[in-house]
Amino acid sequence: MIAGLLIEPNVKNMQHKPLTTGRALRALPILILLSLSLMGCSSVYIPSFIKVYQPDIAQGNILEPEQVAKIQLGMSAAEVNQILGTPALRDIFHRNQRETYVFYDKRGKREAFQHTLVILYDANGRVTKIEQSGDPLTQAPTQDIPEALRNAKKTADQTPATTDTETNSGAPNPYSLTAPTTSTPALGGGAPLEPTAPALSQ
């Protein structure tokens, strides 16, 4: 009775069917869609020629090794800010005792550069410790600027600024938006009269 209930397995259907060209072509679109979906994962390497354009992103404080080297123990916070500028972060839990300068730069498809500089102060507002972490400043993208451009920038910073009403030669500037001030000559050839404001009546 029990033997009659047993069903003999269909061995013909259980046999492995060989992969034909038609089946492989039908599976190809599925494999392509699967690979494209995996390309959205950041852990999967994507060749640079496939990636779309990525703009340059610079955030925080642009730091240079020469600037950081000027920071010395015992300096005041005002002196540090004059050299490095306003910090990106001021710790509200350690007010006037900790300033953080963050230098982040991402150039196109390159790896992001990040350097963190932390200045610690004592109760009198003097530098007690300087901490640095992240990528070395010598590898910052700003170090790629040619030396000629750096020298030109230093020369421009050292050139005294001229006023709006005169050029570098001291002559009147024809493109100035402000009229030059002139004094009104006095009658009879005396000293020039200076304009005076009318007295206020009380």
> Mean pLDDT over residues 55-71, rounded?
84
In a domain, 83, yes or no: yes
Interval 110-142: pLDDT, tens: 788 889 999 999 989 899 999 998 888 887 776
- Label residue 41 exposed, middle or buried (CB < 10 Å: 0-12, 13-18, 19+): exposed
In a domain, 123, yes or no: yes
pTM for the predicted model, two decimal places = 0.46
Interval 149-170: pLDDT, tens: 556 656 655 655 544 444 555 6
Which domain CATH number covers 120? 3.30.1450.10
Q: Identify the top-confidence range among 48-62, 124-138, 175-189.
A: 124-138
Host domain of residue 67: 57-156
Count: domains in the chain = 1
Q: How confident is the model at residue 56 (pLDDT cuts 50, 70, 90)?
A: confident
Tokens of 145: 């600027």
Cα–Cα distance measured from residue 7 to residue 193, given in angstroms and rounded to the nearest whole number: 126
Q: How confident is the model at residue 105 (pLDDT cuts 50, 70, 90)?
A: confident
Cα–Cα distance measured from residue 16 to residue 28, given in angstroms and rounded to the nearest whole number: 20
Q: What phi and psi, each to the nearest 5 degrees, are found at residue 50?
A: -90, -30
The DSSP secondary-structure symbol of 184 reads: B
